[in-house]
């Protein structure tokens, strides 16, 4: 390995909270090993030292919400061999995509003292709506083990072992009791992609859908069951309108329950 | 339906107050005890030590997609039927490392995991789960392809079965001919009796190890009336099940319904979440994954429970062959009730009803089988 040039990694931020890129720093035990195998070339959250592109791997966090960002992402794509979106913002538009269900100007006038200075797009959109994306890491935030798995797989030229099936499978393998069946707690696990280790159901909470829609989400059937559990329509709308509100299956389901 | 009877010899009575003695005798013989306990509003199988850890006085109420525990006045130990998940996780764990390897010069060195030699005693296995155990024995330890880790764990197993005197709400073992009384595959089988404030167990040894254990316990001969009372309870349980599958004809009947439009109707409700396969005591499909660490110096092969409901499950060169949920549900049900018969000479369904209870949207295999085969 020593003779081979170390791959260069860059981390980019768009409209987001920084939580996903911090998952890289959160790798703690694996961080030194990562730094040994790759050059962290552009990661302002970690270091001011910036190595010029092109980059072998670009981790892109955040959604596109401004005309400036809509241009910037193309530049990043041009200097990245492999572009990976990390987190619900980059893969689905994030919580800020709630603006997509309303008129953004209404928000601007309420939030900002001088709305005239605000230049924003009507919609918050995922990176894949703008450029080609090589791989997606889901979650709000992403799971650090999935991040390390992706980097390990890329370094060793293999396919990452990252599933697209339901949270339920992780939940059952862990030995959890289904919160919906045993306690009537509405849970998005059956329509949500695995990756979090069934975090919320492990603490007796229903799944919030942080990892977005699984490979074949039957949101209609699940929402019909929520109705049987007497979940009010407003709540069903809110459940599907979380961090992945603009992911198509969740968006359509929330719209179907809107009065 | 054939009358359920208890054998006329070797059967003894263990009083409730001596039940801890049974657990102690097993512990003293070096067994790790696994039994039903209440956790997160349900019955789960976990490590136990004492009789009061059992779900004393609890009863489970099961419906499609719904499970509740209810406390009863009767302080039964096994008033609940089956656990929310099956016993298979102790013999065929959800994840296991098959081997790992480290780089060694130009090659690599393979490290085999230590064999699991823990002696386990399963306390409270129901006849449906015994039937499932027999299925796994045949497939995983007696066939052409042996799963050595399963075989190892199975060899060290002691099984204390409990006959069902109350069927669960989603049970249909009587129609699958797997219960409610345990007929084979156990070391001891208990029938819990709670009549006129008397609480005792009819104990039936099913193996040499079982007989040996009984010899260590303060048991007595049963009275004829006690045997009769137990038999009455067991027969009542068998006739009390509301769900049925015509296990004799279902294979042939379903096989003719491959293109039935009802599969589409099921797929409209099916979430393809895989819960039914995770709770099923006979499912044994796994995925095998190779991974490396960041340095590329270490690799390992991991096996984990897979499900025929994932898209990846049917991935072959070029893509997945079961992209529609219709095809995935059909594969699951047809495998259980039709193909299993052709493959292994038995049914892949034991009638435990877990897939009905724990389906998040309450899809009922008995009802779907009825819809598919009874209607014209």
B97 interfaces chain A, CB cutoff of 8 Å: no
Residue pair B65/B360 in contact by the 8 Å Cβ criterion: yes
Q: How far is B9 from chain A (nearest CA, A)?
A: 40
Assigned domain for B19 exists? yes
Do the chains contact at A222 and B270, CB–CB below 8 Å?
A: no
Assigned domain for B6 exists? no
What is the number of H-type helices and E-type strands within chain A? 11, 5
Last residue of a domain, one of B194, B219, B239: B239
The beta-carbon neighbor of B94 closest among A173, A221, A225 is A173
Q: Is the pLDDT of residue A17 over 90?
A: yes
B-chain residues near A180 (CB < 8 A): 65, 360
Assigned domain for B5 exists? no
Assigned domain for B178 exists? yes
Residue A229 CB: number of other CB atoms within 10 A? 13
Residue pair A59/A84 in contact by the 8 Å Cβ criterion: yes
Same domain assignment for residues B334 and B194: no
Please tell me the distance from the alpha carbon of residue A31 to that of residue A35, in angstroms, as a whole number.
6
B95 interfaces chain A, CB cutoff of 8 Å: yes
Whole-number pLDDT of residue B1 = 62
B65 interfaces chain A, CB cutoff of 8 Å: yes
Do the chains contact at A173 and B291, CB–CB below 8 Å?
A: no
Share the mean pLDDT of chain A: 96
B102 interfaces chain A, CB cutoff of 8 Å: no
Q: Is the pLDDT of residue A3 over 80?
A: no
A-chain residues near B291 (CB < 8 A): 149, 152-153, 158, 161
The beta-carbon neighbor of A221 closest among B85, B305, B361 is B361
Residue pair A59/A10 in contact by the 8 Å Cβ criterion: yes
Same domain assignment for residues B59 and B82: yes
Where does residue B27 rank: exposed (0-12), middle (13-18), buried (19+ CB within 10 A)?
middle
Same domain assignment for residues B99 and B139: yes
Model pLDDT for residues A207-227, shown as the tens digit of each residue: 999 999 999 999 999 999 999
Whole-number pLDDT of residue B227 = 95
Last residue of a domain, one of B181, B205, B239: B239
Assigned domain for B245 exists? no
B291 interfaces chain A, CB cutoff of 8 Å: yes
Same domain assignment for residues B55 and B110: yes
Query: Using 50, 70 and 90 to split pLDDT, how confident is the model at A1?
Result: very low
A-chain residues near B293 (CB < 8 A): 33, 152
The structural domain count of chain B equals: 2
Residue pair A87/A16 in contact by the 8 Å Cβ criterion: yes
Nearest chain A Cα to B279, which residue? A172
Show the domain range for B303: 250-374
Whole-number pLDDT of residue B375 = 60
- The low-confidence residues of chain B, meaning pLDDT below 50, are none
Q: Is the pLDDT of residue A169 over 90?
A: yes
Nearest chain B Cα to A203, which residue? B40
B329 interfaces chain A, CB cutoff of 8 Å: no
Assigned domain for B1 exists? no
A-chain residues near B279 (CB < 8 A): 172
Domains of chain A: 8-155 (3.40.50.700), 167-256 (no CATH)
Last residue of a domain, one of B184, B216, B239: B239
What letter would DSSP give residue A100? G
Nearest chain A Cα to B86, which residue? A175
Same domain assignment for residues B198 and B283: no
Q: Is the pLDDT of residue A22 over 60?
A: yes
């Amino acid at each position: 390995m020593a003779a081979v040039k170390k791959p260069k990694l860059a981390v980019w931020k768009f409209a987001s909270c920084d939580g996903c890129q911090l998952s890289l720093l959160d790798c703690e035990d694996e961080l030194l090993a990562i730094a040994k195998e790759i050059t962290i070339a552009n990661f302002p959250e970690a270091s001011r030292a910036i190595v010029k592109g092109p980059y072998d791997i670009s981790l892109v966090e955040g959604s596109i919400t401004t005309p400036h960002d809509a241009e910037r992402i193309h530049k990043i794509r041009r200097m990245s061999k492999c572009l990976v979106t990390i987190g619900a913002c980059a893969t689905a538009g994030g919580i800020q995509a709630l603006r997509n269900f309303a008129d953004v100007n209404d928000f601007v006038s309420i939030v900002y003292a001088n709305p005239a200075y605000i230049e924003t797009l009507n919609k918050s959109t995922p990176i894949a709506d703008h450029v080609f994306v090589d791989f997606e890491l889901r979650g709000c935030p992403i799971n650090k083990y999935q991040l390390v798995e992706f980097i390990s797989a890329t370094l060793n030229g293999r396919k990452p072992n990252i599933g697209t099936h339901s949270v339920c499978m992780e939940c059952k393998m862990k030995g959890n009791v289904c919160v919906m069946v045993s306690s009537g707690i509405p849970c998005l696990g059956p329509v949500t992609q695995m990756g979090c280790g069934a975090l919320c159901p492990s603490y007796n909470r229903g799944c919030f859908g942080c990892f977005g829609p699984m490979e074949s989400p039957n949101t209609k059937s699940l929402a019909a069951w929520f109705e049987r559990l007497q979940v009010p329509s407003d709540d069903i709308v809110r459940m599907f309108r979380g961090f992945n509100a603009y992911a198509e299956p969740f968006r359509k389901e929330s719209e179907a329950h809107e009065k | 339906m054939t009358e359920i009877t208890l054998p006329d010899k070797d059967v003894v009575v263990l009083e409730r107050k001596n039940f801890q003695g049974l657990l102690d005798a097993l512990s003293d013989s070096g067994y790790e005890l696994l039994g039903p306990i209440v956790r997160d509003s349900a019955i789960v199988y976990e490590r136990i030590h004492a009789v009061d850890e059992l779900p004393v006085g609890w009863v489970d109420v099961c419906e499609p997609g719904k499970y509740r525990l209810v406390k009863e006045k009767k302080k039964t130990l096994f008033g609940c039927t089956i656990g929310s998940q099956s016993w298979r996780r102790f013999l065929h764990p959800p994840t296991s490392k098959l081997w790992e390897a480290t780089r060694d010069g130009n090659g690599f060195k393979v490290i085999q995991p230590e064999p699991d030699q823990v002696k386990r005693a399963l306390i409270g296995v129901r006849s449906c789960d015994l039937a499932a155990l027999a299925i796994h024995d045949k497939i995983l330890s007696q066939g052409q392809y042996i799963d050595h880790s399963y075989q190892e764990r199975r060899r060290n197993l002691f099984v204390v079965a409990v006959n069902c005197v109350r069927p669960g709400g989603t049970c249909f073992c009587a129609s699958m001919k797997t219960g409610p009384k345990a007929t084979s595959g156990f070391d001891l089988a208990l029938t819990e009796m709670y009549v006129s404030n008397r609480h005792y167990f009819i104990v039936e040894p099913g193996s040499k190890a079982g007989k040996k254990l009984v010899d260590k316990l303060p048991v007595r001969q049963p009275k004829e009336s006690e045997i009769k009372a137990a038999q009455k309870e067991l027969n009542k349980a068998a006739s009390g099940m509301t769900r049925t599958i015509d296990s004799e004809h279902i294979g042939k009947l379903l096989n003719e319904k491959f293109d039935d439009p009802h599969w589409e109707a099921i797929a409209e409700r099916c979430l393809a979440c895989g819960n039914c396969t995770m709770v099923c005591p006979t499912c044994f499909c796994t995925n095998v994954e190779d991974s490396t660490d960041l340095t590329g110096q270490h690799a390992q092969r991991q096996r984990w429970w897979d499900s025929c409901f994932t898209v990846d499950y049917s991935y072959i060169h070029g893509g997945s062959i079961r992209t529609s949920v219709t095809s995935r549900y059909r594969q699951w049900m047809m495998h259980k009730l039709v193909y299993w018969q052709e493959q292994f000479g038995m049914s892949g369904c034991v009638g435990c009803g877990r897939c009905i209870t724990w389906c998040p949207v309450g899809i009922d295999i008995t009802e779907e089988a009825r819809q598919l085969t009874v209607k014209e």
